[in-house]
Amino acid sequence: MIVKSTASISDIDTRSVYVSSRSCDHYPGGLEAWGTDTGITFNRNIESWRFNRKYFDYAVTNPAYLYGTIERMQEYFKEMQGYWKELGSDCVLDLNAWIYHIASDIIFFNTTGRKFHFMAKYFNVLSTGKKIDIEDSHITEKIFKGFENAFKAIFFLITTHSLLRHTIYRKQNKEHLKAQDQLRRLLCELIQERRKEIENTPVDEPLKPDIMNLLITANTERDISHNTNDYLNRPLTDDAIQMSLFESIAASTSTSVAAFIFVVEYVGRHPEVEAKIRTEINSFFSDNPNRVVTYGNLNEFKYIEAVYYETTRINTAVPFMFRTNQREDVIAGYRWKPDTQFVVNYQAPHRNEKHFTDPEKFIPERFINDGSDEKGTFKKAFYPWGGGLHICPARNIGLAYVKMLLVLLYRNYEVKLVNADKPIQTYHDFITQCADTRAYLKPI
């Protein structure tokens, strides 16, 4: 069943009976390698899902994590500026690629507490002169390719029926399963390495609040989550940690990059919006040019936030989601048997004139008044992060991440898109993304 009405979407998203993002019954041999009772994205076991979701929620809402991410972004952006300067002011930059690499650097560090130098690796590919010496460069390449290949593999495995995978697409199936297995081994090595580090760290010495430490120490004597739930009283297995690491990295990187790039594309085609963004940024720094942007004061960029919301309304990064009911239920006036798969189309109400005036037009102002347009449909028909139990746990840091990057970009550069006079080119796998975002950046 394909669900498009806001009432039906609300029914599915707010009922705990819908605990699965995807029914895997007809896709044997695909996601079983990861396990359908680990992580949160594909987990069909409600108790296991609650267990993993609890720790993921804690990780991405921890103040040290939130404030540290915004501080780290500014450091990494300066590093990226240095690479851009080396390439020359007349160089056309592939913003999609650059933002993907800086996002990977930040999110991998937040997750593992380790820097993998993805931006430096990308700079070395582009530079015809200066090269950056990267420590353990072979590990950087293995990790980057491992996630890239595994992400493609999971998309193939959950969207291709087993009959096709074992006949017509047999070769591709074998390659994708191999890629998935290779990433699992890489993650296992990282986890075992970190376990040894924790064992060798004195008990009275605090551990870094990265996601890997949180997951490994959960419900152990070194637990840094301050867990108070009696029913969540067991440590996580390595399999569960592997899936959680993959989800936190793959999902966070792709969605944040897609959202940021779409904002740049729309702003580049609406100079009046860009002018308002620059006015808001200048106002923030008017009294003190050296004022530090923190996670706390990012809330002052109201117009930039409205631009983000309007962009995600028109181009929702994850426009569809899957839900599977555990027991018989009535949705949209029909009775559905257990294990029925529902395809939830979040994009449909976003572009429906019943909910938004002139839905095809880019009007950030509709989100200025506490996130409500003149029809007050922000909460009723706007699903940028999904909804209900399965709402994106990293939505707050995801929004802050995009806002911070926009402040850094438009405060420091004039941005001229190469294809600003042409329609935005997109493609879709798990996520709707821009196909070509090249730009000239002129320092201000």
Best-predicted range by mean pLDDT (3-12, 178-187, 385-394, 415-424): 415-424
Residue 24 among known ligand-binding residues: no
The CA–CA distances, whole Å, from 424 to 71, 162, 261, 435 equal: 32, 35, 11, 8
Structure confidence by residue, pLDDT tens digits, 36-89: 567 787 777 777 888 888 878 887 888 888 999 999 999 999 999 999 999 998
**In the predicted model, is pLDDT for residue 228 greater than 70?**
no
Q: 320 with 329: CB under 8 angstroms? A: no
Query: DSSP string of 379-411?
Result: HHH--BTB-GGGS-TTHHHHHHHHHHHHHHHHH
Alpha carbon 100 to chain centroid distance? 11
Structure confidence by residue, pLDDT tens digits, 132-155: 999 878 888 888 888 888 888 877
| The pairing of beta strand 93-94 with beta strand 320-325 | unpaired
Measured distance CA(243)–CA(236) in Å, rounded: 11
The CA–CA distances, whole Å, from 135 to 120, 194, 313, 335 equal: 11, 18, 42, 59
Higher pLDDT, 152 or 312: 312
Element (H, E) at 229: none
Q: 183 with 147: CB under 8 angstroms? A: yes
One-letter amino acid for residue 428 of the chain: H
Nearest to 115 by CA among 130, 132, 90, 127: 132
- Which pair of structure tokens corresponds to residue 152? 């493609």
Structure confidence by residue, pLDDT tens digits, 76-123: 999 999 999 999 988 999 999 999 999 999 999 999 988 999 999 999
Q: 118 with 79: CB under 8 angstroms? A: no
pTM for this model (two decimals): 0.89
Structure confidence by residue, pLDDT tens digits, 158-207: 778 888 888 999 999 899 888 888 888 999 999 999 999 999 999 889 88
301 pLDDT band, cuts 50/70/90, is very high
Burial (CB count within 10 angstroms: exposed 0-12, middle 13-18, buried 19+), residue 370:
exposed
**What is the model's pLDDT at position 355?**
85
Torsion of CA 199, 200, 203, 204, to 10 degrees: -150
415 pLDDT band, cuts 50/70/90, is very high
Higher pLDDT, 140 or 6: 140
Q: 389 with 16: CB under 8 angstroms? A: yes
Task: Find the radius of gyration of the CA atoms of the chain.
Answer: 22
Q: 434 in helix, strand or coil?
A: strand
**What is the model's pLDDT at position 22?**
44
Domains delineated in the chain = 2-443 (1.10.630.10)
Higher pLDDT, 75 or 389: 75
Question: How far from each other are the two terminal CA atoms of the chain, in whole angstroms?
Answer: 52
Structure confidence by residue, pLDDT tens digits, 10-46: 666 666 555 444 444 444 445 555 555 677 877 777 7
* Mean pLDDT for the chain overall: 85
The CA–CA distances, whole Å, from 19 to 14, 16, 44, 324, 382 equal: 10, 6, 6, 7, 21
**In the predicted model, is pLDDT for residue 260 greater than 90?**
yes
